[in-house]
Structure 1
Amino acid sequence: MKKTILFDLDGTLLPMDAQKFEEAYIGSLTNYTKNIINPKEMGMKLWRATGIMIKSDDKSMTNEQTFYSEFEKLLDSSTYNKILEVIDSYYDNDFDVAKTATGFHKDMPKVVRYLKDKGYRVILATNPMLPRTATDKRISWAGLNVDDFDHVTRFEEYVHCKPNPLYYEDIISKFDLDPSECVMVGNDAQEDMMTKQFGFETWLLTDDLIDRGQEYHADWIGTRDDLLEKIMEVFK
């Protein structure tokens, strides 16, 4: 019997062209800090620190701590401190520019709330790479609230990122999950469907499919238009 359903956010519950979103996000952030640092330089250093964070296996530091530790190393102290002074304001305000690269599907809130109403555990297994405000906004753009989920994987709390398998191991350990009782729903053929190696049932949404050409296994493949019917068929 399935008891826990994990959803990816970007490209799954929240329709999104990943490349356009990255361009809108990084473009708006580097523009916001252009009076502090050259936008091109800012973009390069953001990606470098992010890349180190993604690859980190250091369990002693959260993703947030790892990112800012690496980002600080790439800048002089004055520039770093000036960026820190405005970064929260950016996410409160200009991060909304990135919404232009996202969409909305009317069934996604219905899917999540149907499962919650039926008493299933619903986890938002979004890659914990962005601050709380950015995650909460993307949840709202999908027509959902943080309270619609039993748990959200957070930049400020988690110590691993996708595609590190330890990210999923952390979730399994945190909730003492039996993988055979779990379903992972995502649009990334590798980063989401890799949960099959732990024993999850895997559902792949193809609307905003990301497939790097590496082998994967999906127990069910469909679209957002198919998902609500599938959920109601399986989770009664």
Structure 2
Amino acid sequence: MIRACLFDLDGTLLPMDTESFVHHYLQELASHVADVVSPDKLVRYLWEATEAMIRNSEAHKTNEEVFVEHFLQLAGVSKEEIWPHFDRFYDEHYPKLKTHVEPTPLSRRVVEAALEKGYKVAVATNPVFPRVAIMERLRWAEVDDLPFEWVTVYEDMHFCKPRPEYYREIADRLGVRPEECVMIGNDMQEDMVAQTVGMKTFYLNQCRIDRGHPVYQPDQEGSMEELLSAIREGTGVFSD
């Protein structure tokens, strides 16, 4: 029996061309800290520190701790020198990136339908961003005011997609077994991997991302409209 719905954010609740969005995000961020670290170096350090988060298997370290440790070591600067620039960017400039996403009212309807059915609902976005950035994207998706049980942000999580431990950690936070969860997302490798811990999966075929390997067989596939119908009618992975 399904007790919890896990929704990916980028490309799922918030339709976007993820590659294009990340490009604009890095370009904007780099220009705002150019006085501390040159743009070309900053982008490289950000990617390397992010990769360190994704590879991390130490459960006692949050993603934030892993990222900060690796980034500062690579950049050769102190946190006091550069973090105020990051904070200012997220507060003042990050909201302007909304022009690079394509919100849909269906996202709110889908989440509301899951809540009406009594499911515990979590935002299972890859926690490689700070809370302020993820909450801003939830605002763009017009779902930020909904009563999510949990939102995965890098300050709190200890693993990233596509590690199976990421999905186990969410289930633990929600107080359910993985087998009682449905992971809903548009990324074959990062989202459908949830089935390796026993979760059901719904592969959203809009804004889909598939790198070719590994290949998973989703329990269900469809559009946002079909997802909404399945939740409301209790069909497919949402059937009792």
TM-score class, shorter-chain normalisation, is over 0.9
Q: Deviations over 1:108-167 (max 9, x none)?
A: 101111221332100111111101110000001111115431111121011110011111
Distance 2:131 2:124 in 1: 14
* % same residue: 38
Q: Which residue of 2 aligns with 1:83?
A: 82
What letter matches 1:158 in structure 2? M
Q: Which residue of 2 aligns with 1:212?
A: 211
Check whether the contact 1:25–1:97 (CA below 8 A) recurs between aligned residues. Answer: no
Q: Deviations over 1:12-67 (max 9, x none)?
A: 00001011111111011001112222111111111111111110111121101110
Correspondences of 1:72-221 after superposition (within 5 Å): 72-77=72-77, 80-145=79-144, 147-214=146-213, 215-221=215-221
Check whether the contact 2:14–2:141 (CA below 8 A) recurs between aligned residues. Answer: yes
Q: Does 1:43 align with 2:43?
A: yes
Q: Which residue of 2 aligns with 1:12?
A: 12
Q: What number of residue pairs does the alignment pair up?
A: 235
Change (3 A) 1:200 1:54: same
Check whether the contact 1:193–1:204 (CA below 8 A) recurs between aligned residues. Answer: yes
Q: Which residue of 2 aligns with 1:222?
A: 222
Structure 1 stretches of 4+ moved >3 Å: none
Partner SS state of residue 46, structure 1: helix
Normalized against structure 2, the TM-score is what?
Answer: 0.92
Of the structure 1 ranges 33-42 and 120-129, higher mean CA displacement relative to structure 2 is found in 33-42
Check whether the contact 1:112–1:148 (CA below 8 A) recurs between aligned residues. Answer: no
Normalized against structure 1, the TM-score is what?
Answer: 0.94
Partner SS state of residue 184, structure 1: strand
Q: Could you say what the CA RMSD is over the residues aligned between the two structures, in angstroms? A: 1.6
Distance 2:102 2:72 in 1: 34
Of the structure 1 ranges 185-194 and 141-150, higher mean CA displacement relative to structure 2 is found in 141-150
Q: Deviations over 1:153-212 (max 9, x none)?
A: 121011110011111121223334223321110001111111112222110011111101
Q: Which residue of 2 aligns with 1:58?
A: 58
Q: Which residue of 2 aligns with 1:2?
A: 2
Distance 2:58 2:97 in 1: 30
Partner SS state of residue 221, structure 1: strand
Which sections of structure 1, spanning at least 5 residues, go unmatched?
none
Distance 1:134 1:44 in 2: 20
